[in-house]
Homo-oligomer: A and B are copies of this chain.
């Protein structure tokens, strides 16, 4: 099935929204995610549902179909592989790659993606710690919990970030938190949810609740 750029983007939005919450996704939520209007979403959902990429009942929200999820995962795969390429090979920082990958993810050539994957050494995670689906759409998420819900004296490794916006990523760079950093929780403040942590057994750091909630670690 050949999808237009707009169709791919809507499908991706539906996929992402259903991945992180309910299976039924609301028209408004999609409009918000896509920076567009609800009317446009309704229209597109009607069309995607004709192509059986989503299940759609008027006024009831949409649910992604198997075919739809498969297509969305291929776009996600391409997006994340390109992000790895940009960071590993072209020396971009992790806060710069999303926009460019948004464009590159729509390039249509299965062979290109196969070769790119080989060239990069079959990476399993992108620069933000998100898993890269394989050719069949399979992937394994690393077990990850927000730094904010670790216990005192817990040791953990930063495996991903929840918020991938440039401002947040740049903030992490500035304070010295990066993917793979070893983190020990030294103190948690009840009052405002802020924490004191130790990075790589060297640097003590105070971080806000907001930061702690958006940094994901394994233990």
Contact = CB atoms under 8 A, between A and B. Distances in A.
Interface of A: 86, 89-92, 96, 99-100, 103-104, 107-109, 111-112, 115-116, 119
A100 B92 CA distance: 23
B92 A115 contact: yes
The interface residues of chain A, by DSSP majority, are classed as: helix
A107 B105 CA distance: 10
Contact of A116 (B90, B96, B103, B119): B90
B103 A115 contact: no
Contacts of A100: 107, 109, 112
B90 A119 contact: yes
Given A91-B115, A96-B111, A103-B108, 14 more contacts: A89-B119, A90-B112, A90-B115, A90-B116, A90-B119, A92-B111, A92-B115, A99-B109, A100-B107, A100-B112, A103-B107, A103-B109, A104-B104, A104-B107
